[in-house]
Structure 1
Amino acid sequence: MNDLIKQVETYIQSFGHDWLSNVLLITAASFIAWLLWRVLCGRLDSIAKRTNLAWDDLIIRALKTPISVLIWLWPATISLGLIIDSQTKISSDWLSDVDLLLVIGSFVWITLRLIHNIEAYVLAQKKRDETTVQAVAKVARLFFVAVGILTAMQAFGLSLSGLLTFGGVGGLIVGLAAKDLLSNFFGGMMIYFDRPFKVGDWVRSPDREIEGTVERIGWRMTIIRTFDKRPLYVPNSVFSSIVVENPSRMLNRRIKETIGLRYSDGDKLAKIVSDVKAMLETHKDIDAKQTLMVNFDTFGASSLNFFIYTFTKTVNWARYHEVKQDVLLKIMAIIEKHDAAIAFPTQTLQFEQQRRDEPMTPLSNND
Structure 2
Amino acid sequence: MDQLLSYLPPSIAGLLEQWDTNVILITIASFFAWVIWRIVYGRLEILAEKTRFHWDDLTLAALKTPVSTLIWCWPATVSLGFLLQDHMGDKLNWLSTVKLLLVIAIFVWITIRLINNIEEYVLDQTNRDETTVQAVAKVSRLFFIVIGGMTVMQAFGLSLSGLLTFGGVGGLIVGLAAKDLLSNFFGGMMIYFDRPFKVGDWIRSPDRQIEGTVERIGWRMTIIRTFDKRPLYVPNSVFSSIVVENPSRMQNRRINETIGVRYDDSTQVETIVEEIKAMLKTHPDIDAKQTLIVNFNGFGPSSLDIMVYTFTKTVNWVRFHKVKQDVLLKILAIVHQNGADIAYPTQTIKLDAQNNEMQGEPV
Q: Same fold (TM over 0.5)?
A: yes
- Deviation per CA, 1:182-213, whole angstroms, max 9, x where unpaired? 10110011001111011111111111111111
Tell me how far 1:291 sits from its aligned partner. Answer: 0.7
User: What residue is the counterpart of 2:190 in the other structure?
Assistant: 190
Following superposition of structure 1 onto structure 2, how do residues 178-217 of structure 1 map, counting pairs within 5 Å? 178-217=178-217
- Deviation per CA, 1:332-352, whole angstroms, max 9, x where unpaired? 000010111101111122334
- Deviation per CA, 1:85-141, whole angstroms, max 9, x where unpaired? 122356522111011000011001101111111111111121121111111111111
CA gap of 1:78–1:258, structure 2 versus 1, over 3 A, is same
Q: Does 1:68 align with 2:97?
A: no
SS of 1:15's equivalent in the other structure is helix
Following superposition of structure 1 onto structure 2, how do residues 130-279 of structure 1 map, counting pairs within 5 Å? 130-279=130-279
Whichever residue aligns with residue 133 of structure 2, its letter is: V
CA gap of 1:356–1:228, structure 2 versus 1, over 3 A, is closer
SS of 2:271's equivalent in the other structure is helix
Q: Report the Cα distance in structure 1 between the residues aligned to 2:357 and 2:259, rounded to whole angstroms.
A: 48
TM-score for the superposition, normalised by structure 1: 0.90
SS of 1:122's equivalent in the other structure is helix
User: What residue is the counterpart of 1:110 in the other structure?
Assistant: 110
Q: Report the Cα distance in structure 1 between the residues aligned to 2:23 and 2:331, rounded to whole angstroms.
A: 89
CA gap of 1:49–1:357, structure 2 versus 1, over 3 A, is closer
Q: Report the Cα distance in structure 1 between the residues aligned to 2:355 and 2:219, rounded to whole angstroms.
A: 87
Aligned residues: 347
Q: Structure 2 unaligned runs (5+)?
A: 1-13
Identity of matched residues, %: 69
User: What residue is the counterpart of 1:5 in the other structure?
Assistant: none
User: What residue is the counterpart of 1:364 in the other structure?
Assistant: none
- Deviation per CA, 1:231-263, whole angstroms, max 9, x where unpaired? 111111010000000011111111000111111
Q: Structure 1 unaligned runs (5+)?
A: 1-13, 362-367
Q: Report the Cα distance in structure 2 between the residues aligned to 1:89 and 1:305, rounded to whole angstroms.
A: 103
Q: Report the Cα distance in structure 2 between the residues aligned to 1:299 and 1:29, rounded to whole angstroms.
A: 97
SS of 2:274's equivalent in the other structure is helix
User: What residue is the counterpart of 1:41 in the other structure?
Assistant: 41
Whichever residue aligns with residue 105 of structure 1, its letter is: A
Q: Report the Cα distance in structure 1 between the residues aligned to 2:124 and 2:359, rounded to whole angstroms.
A: 94
Q: Report the Cα distance in structure 1 between the residues aligned to 2:79 and 2:226, rounded to whole angstroms.
A: 57
Tell me how far 1:143 sits from its aligned partner. Answer: 1.0
- Deviation per CA, 1:291-316, whole angstroms, max 9, x where unpaired? 11011112111111111011111111
User: What residue is the counterpart of 2:349 in the other structure?
Assistant: 349
Tell me how far 1:69 sits from its aligned partner. Answer: 0.7
Tell me how far 1:353 sits from its aligned partner. Answer: 4.3
Q: Report the Cα distance in structure 2 between the residues aligned to 1:356 and 1:255, rounded to whole angstroms.
A: 50
User: What residue is the counterpart of 2:29 in the other structure?
Assistant: 29
CA gap of 1:288–1:17, structure 2 versus 1, over 3 A, is closer
